[in-house]
Chain A
Amino acid sequence: MTLNSFIKGALSAAAITMAGSFAYAQQAGGSLVFLVQPEPPTMAGYVSTSGPIGLLGPKIYDGLVDYDNDGKMVPMLAESVDVSADGKTITFNLRKGVTWHDGEAFTSEDVQFTIMDVLKKVHPRGPNSFKEVSSIDTPDDHTAVFNLDNPAPYMLRALSSYESPMVPKHHLEGQDVKTAKLANNPIGTGPFKFVEWKKGQYMRLDKNENYWREGRPYLDRIVGRFVPDASTRAAAMEKGEVLYAAYNAVSNVEAVRLNKEKDNIGLTTDGYSMINPMALIEFNTKEGPFTDAAVRRAISTAIDRQYMIDTIFFGYGKPATSALSSNFSATGLHAEMPNYPANGDVAAANKILDDAGYSKDANGVRMKATFDLIPYGEDWKRGGQYIQQVLGEIGIKVDLRYEDVPTWLKRIYHNYDFEMNLNYFYQLSDPVLGVHRHYGTNMIRKGTHFVNSSRYSNAELDALLSAGMTTPDATKRAEIYLDIQKILANDMPVVNLFELEFLVVYNTKLKGAYGSAMGAYASFGDAYLD
């Protein structure tokens, strides 16, 4: 009952905010050119959560709801949400008169298909988010009733257009969702229509004239530019060729400089609160040199997390202290664990390896490995070079490997052809959504990106993860996650490095693009040029 009224309250509050913003006549027209780094592999945001897809996808696809900067729900395709008293029936009242970009009507069947046949099956996080959804009834075209096996409050935090985009049934039904043509010719209900994708250069989206929100979007066009070179990106921002850059597209060092030197360039760390990014190293726990948890613990112990934050990310970030981000302290789930020293302890790490029986040879080398680096820019390359040095100090000689995005994704998530991999994951707004996928046995899913590529499997942990998912009581839940963090601080199939604080660099000419908790992953329907 409380849940129900809470959501209703949130929705009506959001409706008032929206009505308020109508009062001001924003300037319509103009093109927004912004940086997308790197180029997305496809536009199938319903299959892959690869970061760059999120920068463009939510402009094309809508979600059922959005979230404002305070985390409150904002109605999108769902005008309102009713949660039954037992939390097991959730009714979405869908907006009327919404059409897909190809002219077909958007109905509750699309919602049913998207959740049951797409997100629950092929999305990296969908199987967790919608685990409890056993069926969806469609009594009429504008009502979708979710039937849940157990209450799943976290599900209502996973309904944004980035996390759970609503996709057209008539373009995917009867096809292999993973290879359907829609991936490169997206058709959504969002404020902008896909027009053109010039590979290696840009993607162009034009205003959806039939968008369901009266008078939106303001912009005539959005162009996402792909600029592989970091200094060219910074120069484009400086010259005003591009007006917006998020997720390190402009490196922190340049962002800080531009903000200082130019009056018309601003910085914010807003827009990442639902994302909760964590830098980490994934290990292959099945083959190669890192099958032994002691080695992984030694690596976690050796790395100076604070140094990486200070030098590579210019102070934006926070050392990890557990498998869970400290942002989960708000819900009491985070607890500090051993084996995550903020400043690194090479001597202790050497001792762990000595005790585990890995002796150094004449050159001081205990073992050799290849270290893959996430191909998302030079910051990560430098991070890899630093870690390479530290591992050298504890007798682990690693060679670095830096490939293009598709090759790298294939290597890590399709072929498991790696030993250790520098990466970052989004822990999102609840561990069920963002953290379980690293560790659950059910999340070892070949070919699905950003899940349990370590192939770590622990029955005891699986049981705790299930309990964490279905236990509504906050105190009991905190106890469960304490146990989870203890196991993970010992086994460390993934070594968390630090909580990233991403920046948004923007030109002050661009307004209205900052109201969503999804930040750069929002629709930009309210964005306009001054």
Chain B
Amino acid sequence: MSTRFHSTDRLTSWGRIVRAPHFVARPGFTDEIARLVSSFSSDDPGLAVGLRRSYGDSNLNPGGRVIDMTGLDRLIYFDSDTGIMRAEAGVSLSQALQVLVPRGWFLPTTPGTRFVTLGGAVANDVHGKNHQSAGTFGASVMRLKLHRTDGRPQEIAPGDPLFHATMGGLGLTGVIEWVEFRAVRVSSSEIEAHDMPFEHISEYFDLAASTKDAYEHSMAWVDCMAGGTKIGRGIFTAGNWATHGTLTPHQEAPRRRVPMDTPGLVLGRLMVRSFNSIRHDLKSMRTGPYRQHYEQFLYPLDAIADWNRLYGSEGFYQYQCVLPPETARAGTLRLLEIIMASGQASPLAVLKNFGPNPPVGLLSFPREGTTLAVDIRNRGEETLELMAKLDGIVADAHGRLYPAKDGRAPPGLFHAGYPKWREFRAHVDPGLSSAFWRRVSA
């Protein structure tokens, strides 16, 4: 049975703003990739996609063809002595963890959801709470196999220019067949975590600086509703792997599902209530460190499948930027002021400091500095105006946006934020494209 492209109108990204018809092929075996890829051309370019957790338009090719890679989910090998795993691009981090954790290994780094594929982790050079020690996912990739529409399949490794274009390359440099990466040792599946309240954005920066060598994992939740002297108050959460304990992988199923689209209010109220109660407990009880399974510590939102539906049928944006250390304090304060004044954003935002690790990819998002991420429900024009204001702050602060989250930023902001984008462009496979790439490279 040969795999064909079938028409669908159901394809959306995680933000659910763009809903466009696509032609989708779902290969089940890697021997089908070459034929599918060779059918792409510069006149009718295609794109490989995974679990479509990118929020904007980097994983969409409206009116065109995409290869859904999630059926290519076989492990090729795992060496439990060295921690080296090679697996097909459609293997999810969740599946990989099921094999790694019981044998005392973990992903080198992971984003806040385990429902991303290895191919997606490479294409967005994803980062996690341990960026300061581990760098991005790409830093642990040792080798991968790439199919280009204009050449033979090839294996590439660090040092090869095409490798560095492919890390964070948004799937535009070729279709990834498999990825080989190095896992890290863990002695337990639990984290010793610490929650620390802070009362103002400036305190966040002090806390992040003073604790940066003490914790492998860190991030902060920020209250976007508080203003004035309380602006940027929040909870700083940090932790280290427990040094002893059991090696229990997460429960793959069952999870709660969101049965229908709900107005954004529901999520907002739930989040604010739990956040405020935690803050209250922290201040009143001065709780010490606690142990938490990695599932709750690293992937709290994965407990609810389809949580993106909580933002309603109009979809939502996630605004994520990074500002360099020189401008981060002032710039982040300014961003929070605008977000608070607008009253449009989700009540909670995420802050995290990135370490000085040099980026692996030409388009890798993380750079030294502070990243802010906030969900913004789609209300049309006023939402775009809000984000345009935020863009202005980011541009003045010499920051940049995360392509995986972006679905509308002006091309100029991308060009300014990613000075190596022209170098990257030379590596783009002419037979591959995405809505994002057409938007920013025009």
Q: Do the two chains bind?
A: no
A interface residues (Cβ-Cβ under 8 A, vs B): none
Chain B residues proximal to chain A, CB less than 8 Å = none
